Structure 1
Amino acid sequence: MSVLDFTMKDIDGKNVPLAKFQGKVLLIVNTASQCGYTPQYKGLQEIYQKYKDQGFEILAFPANEFGAQEPGTDDQIKQFCSSNYKVSFPLFSKIVVKGKAIHPLYEFLTGEATNPKHAGPIPWNFAKFLVNRKGEVVSRFQPGVKPESPELSSAIEKALAEK
């Protein structure tokens, strides 16, 4: 099983099979609109612009588990991201990223059995999972790692270089 086996609802409520991203490098991020890390949307948009033509996508999953910092509806989240950060990468419908009601995608991303190298609960908003072109998680970055950091850029470039 890989990340590409999941189907998710986008911010407009349409089903999106993640298999459509096969052959691309993905950065999967749980996001929030009222968090100290919310300005990372700017950096995410910058790295998306920098790498998208090389086969890179960012998949943003709003979540309200941490400090109730994503209370809005999907429409409100979409409007916020568009008007404040000009986000053009894929935004998905709000999901649960930890606890008993965890979404199966995040259960897969954080599970010891399914992702032993990068397992463990999501600590806060803006945790990042880097996924290679085959749908395998290759790196995990903590919320405090900025999208434009050399550490993340280097990992993205390495994943993009692998065919």
Structure 2
Amino acid sequence: MTSASSLVSELRQAGLTIAVAESLTGGLVVAELVSVPGASTVVAGGVVAYQTELKHSLLGVSSTLLDAEGAVHPDVAAQMARGVRSRLAVGGRDADIGVATTGVAGPDPQDGQPVGTVFVGVAWGSRTDVTALHLEGDREAIRRATVYESLVAVERMLRQPRE
């Protein structure tokens, strides 16, 4: 089972840093990571870009993409994950890994997407993977499941061969 503790340990052993960009999770992913003692050695920080415009101005997501598709889209998650790496650079060094969440926690649909539609983006090096989720439950259950799935997505990326 993936936990923040095991992920932080794995990142520390690999000498990697992580930066987090969140929308529907509102800071829960980075809070989960920094709840682990010693997380400061790997966690660069987090950005909560809840409003769509902030995804562009803070994280560099294409305004054309946001205008055409809205904030709940796999390409938005990918661009958020790539953008947060440089936006949270420390000492002139980009974070090694960027993870991003965007989706609909409810109670109402957004951007034509039903409640429970979530995209998690993970960027490392030249590779970016996006996981599409279709979650059920109330707002809190969807947000908590997204946190868990975000940790799983990062762990999955770490286990894939580097390109």
Fold-level similarity (TM above 0.5): no
More helix per residue? 2
TM-score w.r.t. length of structure 1: 0.39
